Structure 1
Amino acid sequence: MVADLEERFAGFAARLRPAAPYRDPWPAERRLAMIAIDHIARGHLARGHLARGHLARAHTGAGHTATNHPVAPQSTPSALTRLGFSRGEEIDAATGRPYAMYVGGAWGVVLVDLSMPARVVVEVPHPNSDLRTERMGARLFRLVPGSVLLMAGAHRRAAGGAADVAHNDRSLFNALAAGAAGRRLPQVQLHGFADRSLPGLDAVISTGTTTATPAAVRVTDRLRRIGLATCQSWQDSRGRLEGIGNVQALTAERLGTVFIHLELNWRVRGDERLRSGALEAVAAADIAAG
């Protein structure tokens, strides 16, 4: 039996340590990452038999749970596998949708919904540092069909802080995110902050710049509807945590694509009901609409 996606991502994150090794990719490796995300955005991934029409067979019987299935042979290695990522293809038991998972050690995890063309990129740059954001990423991936999930593969303090992919424009994570922005895929990046950092606030929404976007306003409105005290960084200076200067946000702004930087306090991230409600609100805001 394959573990639940949230549990798998929590397991990946739990193994990350600040003392673990990390290196930035070489320029040629970053180019391969750009090719990989271009193929994902164009829907040019090689699909195994699950994504080619055998979903009905995978769902026979009540109480179905996902199982491992072999991936159909590929004529040439994908760009991510050439970078050393392992690849698996499975059915998500919670949604019934097929996905491909690429695991690349300290370079992270890439999860691709194979049921429809890519519509939005969910990003988790600080797993096992911004606690529960790895679970949030997996949950939001499930809530938004057509998602691509990028999760960093190293603790943000590894290699003297070089592994902080939200502030390192040489990382493989950034190459993937920049490629997504170049293909005009909206991005939502998940972060956390300590309750004591901003007393009285549950959530901070930023575009990574001082400019509002319709998508960011919709996310704010949805979070406020469920009772979360939410501030917008373009209106309230208290909200300028790490969104300003985020390298993925700066690239998205330069390319004119949607970027949402969402910070949730520990009270919300640590409570299953509040965390789920916040993510459902984000999904309902339909970031893919721009």
Structure 2
Amino acid sequence: MSLAMAGCRLSTSGGDVTAHPKSPELVDFDRRVVDYARRAAERAPYTPPSAADRARLALGVGSLLDGDRSGAERLLAAVGFRVTRLTDAVSGRRYDEVAAREQGPEARWGRLYVSAGAAVRWSVQVPHPVSDRDTEALGAHLMEGTPHGALVLAGAHRTAGRGDAADVAHRTDSAFHAIVLELQKRDLPGIQLHGFAKNGSRPYDAILSTGAARTASRDATALADLMEGRALRVCRGWSAPCPLEGATNAQGRSAQRRGTPFLHVELAPRTRADTPAADRAQAALATLLATWSDADRP
């Protein structure tokens, strides 16, 4: 597997760059993530952030990833966002949440969650909450189950904007894309979760691809092997003519240009819902994330 990728570390010493909020929130992390993501079902109007707002948001996220919490808070405040330190009531794990401060248009730009006070070594991305049912819950479970991660969530239903404005997997003018780019700049591998309806032409449990790339990475092959080893039927987009290969995915294209590992993962309903097959799919994904989390990264 591809283990030699440079990590991004949140500073754990020096000055005020790691200052914790005075009153960290004790939360049910899984519920917090899922409740936010499922607001997309309301299909509230969506307007993309301006280029200036995307740039400020990216700078703020970059500062947070680089350990400058104070700088991140200043930059993010300029676009109506804040950083909140969360502690999960069950596991005790800490996360930093980047989210809109008010319930205005910014609230539908999405959110970022990162493991707090430690290296960030991978991301899981959820571009179509509600529309791709249960991908938001799977993203939260993967974030909870493996350290050193980042979870990027879209905040609007993919049909909420004018035309395809809210379909962030195929747009470059979204907060979602700006955040993913900041992660890719640091060579952090990412998994993007999607869902499809299983039918005669799609008899698979999972369709895996490397997005815009047409060749298999070791990580992609490893994930396919992990899933098939758990009795899941997988279509490998790099060696077979699979549907839904994500060749036009905006984040996949940017990953290809940068040479950043990116996996486009399409899951059938039974591998997303509360089923044994979903448990097996999650276990396979978590195993790959663990290799990224445990890598000895320069």
Distance 1:90 1:241, change over 3 A: same
Q: Tell me what 2:48 maps to.
A: 24
Q: Percent identity?
A: 36
Q: Tell me what 2:61 maps to.
A: 37
Is the CA contact (8 Å cut-off) linking 2:207 and 2:245 kept in structure 1? no
Q: Tell me what 1:65 maps to.
A: none
Distance 1:167 1:204, change over 3 A: same
Is the CA contact (8 Å cut-off) linking 1:107 and 1:173 kept in structure 2? yes
Q: Tell me what 1:158 maps to.
A: 160
TM-score normalised by length of structure 1 = 0.83
Between the aligned partners of 2:98 and 2:67, the Cα distance in structure 1 is 16
| Residue from 84, 87, 94 that aligns with 1:88 | 84
Between the aligned partners of 1:23 and 1:242, the Cα distance in structure 2 is 28
Between the aligned partners of 1:168 and 1:188, the Cα distance in structure 2 is 17
Tell me, yes or no, if structure 1 residue 141 matches structure 2 residue 133.
Answer: no
* Count of aligned residue pairs for this structure pair: 261
Partner SS, residue 251 of structure 2 = helix
Q: Tell me what 1:246 maps to.
A: 249
Distance 1:197 1:108, change over 3 A: farther
| Residue from 16, 26, 36 that aligns with 1:12 | 36
Tell me, yes or no, if structure 1 residue 177 matches structure 2 residue 180.
Answer: yes
Task: Report which of the two has the higher share of helix.
Answer: 1
Between the aligned partners of 1:197 and 1:26, the Cα distance in structure 2 is 42
Partner SS, residue 119 of structure 2 = coil
Between the aligned partners of 1:87 and 1:191, the Cα distance in structure 2 is 27
TM-score normalised by length of structure 2 = 0.81
Alpha-carbon deviation of 1:198? Answer: 4.3
Instruction: Please give the root-mean-square deviation of Cα atoms over the aligned residues, in Å.
Output: 2.1
Tell me, yes or no, if structure 1 residue 283 matches structure 2 residue 286.
Answer: yes
Distance 1:76 1:283, change over 3 A: closer
Partner SS, residue 111 of structure 1 = strand
Q: Tell me what 1:69 maps to.
A: none
Distance 1:271 1:77, change over 3 A: closer
Distance 1:40 1:213, change over 3 A: farther
Distance 1:225 1:76, change over 3 A: closer
Is the CA contact (8 Å cut-off) linking 1:143 and 1:280 kept in structure 2? no
Is the CA contact (8 Å cut-off) linking 1:43 and 1:118 kept in structure 2? no
Alpha-carbon deviation of 1:233? Answer: 0.6
Between the aligned partners of 1:19 and 1:131, the Cα distance in structure 2 is 15
Between the aligned partners of 2:195 and 2:27, the Cα distance in structure 1 is 25
Tell me, yes or no, if structure 1 residue 232 matches structure 2 residue 236.
Answer: yes
Alpha-carbon deviation of 1:11? Answer: 1.6
Distance 1:18 1:226, change over 3 A: same
Alpha-carbon deviation of 1:147? Answer: 0.6
Deviation sequence 1:37-87 (CA, Å, 0-9, x none) = 32233233x2xxxxxxxxxxxxxxxxxxxxxxxxxxx58734333321243
Between the aligned partners of 1:120 and 1:161, the Cα distance in structure 2 is 28
Alpha-carbon deviation of 1:242? Answer: 5.1
Distance 1:116 1:273, change over 3 A: farther
Distance 1:96 1:110, change over 3 A: same
Is the CA contact (8 Å cut-off) linking 1:123 and 1:190 kept in structure 2? yes
Between the aligned partners of 1:107 and 1:94, the Cα distance in structure 2 is 28
Aligned ranges 1:40-55 → 2 under 5 Å = 40-44=64-68, 46=69
In structure 2, list runs of 5 or more residues that go unmatched: 1-24, 101-106
